[in-house]
């Protein structure tokens, strides 16, 4: 059989394009900001993860430019060999200090961070307990490790405890959870997870990609939000969201981070994060430290939007984060709604199976500290009108 047979037979995307409801790969022709330009249209952007509004911050942009002029466009090698810059070490030190951890090291992407951390830490004699709604990079990281993975029902602490109770004491145990779940906006039940970890001798890893810069009074993340910074063993995060760049990190005890540096294949065998990305993340971290009010502004504008959507009678996933999913239920209705919103100048993201269960499709919206109430009022009206017009839509 021809290996490419499945490629030739795949027609889902083709049908969507021909039907005029394909919602992906729209071209951006401006900076990522609260208002962007895409394919000749001015759009209110409520579909990015630019939580603190720093992708267009002059200080962050200038840092990237200056780093490129000083260091060039890349490092031509891995951190393990020729690819470590003093800028990398500075970012790691400052991140570790900010997160109240002993040490930190950085990866080229957030996805790669989870692959590299999990596959290095968990081995053949270990068990991983993973929330069923964890990010795809966690799923792939557990596959890359040789550990047995045990999934527990989303946010179900009784299910987690039942599975921990069955685990042999001779096995190493790691509980992994998103801090803020990327599709639903749910916050992990971290106090209960930490309590169960202590009871059953497990370690705790939090993927704080959507929690860093978002949760906690100073934006340190989900652990700060719950006052559990000392209780979480491993914190992973990304630079592509609140820190307005590209890359990822792990923060933990010095011995743990040093072990990852010397045993993580995705870390050892990948080129290091480029100078511009490193400098941009560092500059964004400095802005967050200097302007912690951005975190409050983010939550204020998100709550304004949340109440506005509710007032229009829209059914939303009632999160307490800047991620607000709006239920659209069926795939075609979701894609048509997103395309109509695009035509009306509002960018949002469709969430379809397998990212959601069948019949629970969503429009994922997410907000930025620099959004204005005027922008939100326009978006609310357009979302409400378009979804009302699609109420009778049948698949």
Task: Tell me the Cα Rg of the chain.
Answer: 21
Given the residues 210, 225, 371, 382, select the one marked as catalytic: 210
Residue 210, both tokens: 């959507």
Supply angle C-alpha 368, 369, 372, rounded to 5.
85
Q: Which of 48, 130, 137, 182 is catalytic?
A: 182
**Contact, 183 vs 125, CB < 8 A?**
no
Given the residues 57, 135, 225, 241, select the one marked as catalytic: 241
Q: Verify whether residue 182 is a known catalytic residue.
A: yes
- Helix (H) or strand (E) holding 346, with range, is strand 346-347
Residue 37 is among the residues annotated as catalytic for this protein:
no
User: What is the 3-class SS of 89-101, one letter each residue?
Assistant: HHHHHHHHHHCCC
Nearest to 48 by CA among 290, 210, 221: 210
| CA-to-CA separations, 32 to 44, 94, 101, in angstroms, rounded | 11, 26, 31
Give the whole-angstrom CA distance, residue 244 versus residue 214: 13
- What residue spans of the chain are helical by DSSP H? 5-9, 12-19, 58-71, 86-98, 110-121, 136-144, 157-165, 190-200, 222-226, 254-263, 265-268, 275-290, 293-311, 331-343, 373-389
210 carries an active-site annotation: yes
Q: How far apart are CA 395 and CA 391, in angstroms?
A: 12
Residues 6+ apart with CB under 8 A from 284: 52, 54, 57, 60, 239, 242, 243, 244, 245
Q: Closest by alpha carbon to 244, among 42, 61, 26, 27? A: 61
Token match 């378009």: residue?
A: 386
Report d(CA 222, CA 207) in Å as an integer. Answer: 9
Residues with catalytic roles = 182, 210, 241
């Amino acid at each position: 059989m021809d290996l490419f047979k499945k490629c030739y037979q795949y027609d889902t995307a083709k049908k969507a394009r021909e039907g005029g409801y394909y919602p992906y790969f729209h071209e951006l022709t401006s900076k990522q900001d609260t208002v962007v330009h895409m394919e000749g249209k001015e759009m209110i952007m409520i579909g990015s993860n630019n939580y603190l509004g720093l992708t267009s911050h002059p200080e962050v942009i200038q840092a990237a430019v200056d780093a490129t002029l000083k260091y060039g466009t890349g490092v031509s090698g891995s951190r393990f060999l020729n690819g470590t810059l003093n800028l990398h070490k500075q970012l790691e030190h400052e991140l570790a200090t900010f997160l109240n951890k002993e040490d930190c090291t950085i990866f080229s992407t957030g996805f790669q961070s989870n692959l590299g951390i999990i596959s290095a830490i968990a081995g053949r004699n270990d068990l991983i307990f993973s929330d069923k709604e964890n990010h795809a990079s966690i799923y792939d990281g557990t596959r890359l490790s040789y550990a047995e993975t045990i999934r527990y029902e989303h946010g179900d602490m009784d299910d987690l405890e039942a599975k921990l109770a069955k685990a042999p004491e001779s096995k190493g145990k790691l509980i992994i959870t998103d801090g803020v779940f990327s599709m639903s906006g749910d916050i992990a039940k971290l106090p209960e997870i930490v309590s169960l970890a202590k009871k059953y001798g497990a370690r705790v890893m939090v993927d704080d990609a959507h929690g860093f810069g978002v949760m906690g009074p100073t934006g340190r993340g989900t652990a700060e939000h719950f006052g559990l910074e000392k209780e979480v063993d491993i914190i992973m995060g990304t630079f592509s969201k609140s820190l307005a760049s590209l890359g990822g990190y792990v923060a933990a005890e010095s011995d743990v981070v040093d072990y990852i540096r010397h045993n993580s294949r995705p870390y050892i065998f990948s080129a290091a994060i480029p100078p511009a990305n490193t400098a941009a993340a560092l500059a964004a971290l400095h802005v967050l430290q200097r302007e912690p009010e951005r975190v409050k502004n983010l939550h204020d504008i998100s709550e304004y939007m949340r109440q506005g959507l509710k007032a229009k009678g829209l059914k939303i996933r009632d999160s307490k984060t800047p991620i607000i999913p709006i239920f659209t239920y069926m795939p075609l209705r979701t894609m048509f709604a997103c395309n109509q919103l695009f035509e009306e100048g509002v960018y949002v993201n469709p969430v379809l199976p397998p990212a959601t269960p069948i019949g629970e499709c969503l429009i994922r919206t997410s907000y930025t500290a620099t959004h204005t109430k005027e922008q939100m009022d326009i978006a609310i009206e357009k979302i409400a009108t378009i979804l009302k017009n699609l109420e009778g839509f049948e698949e």
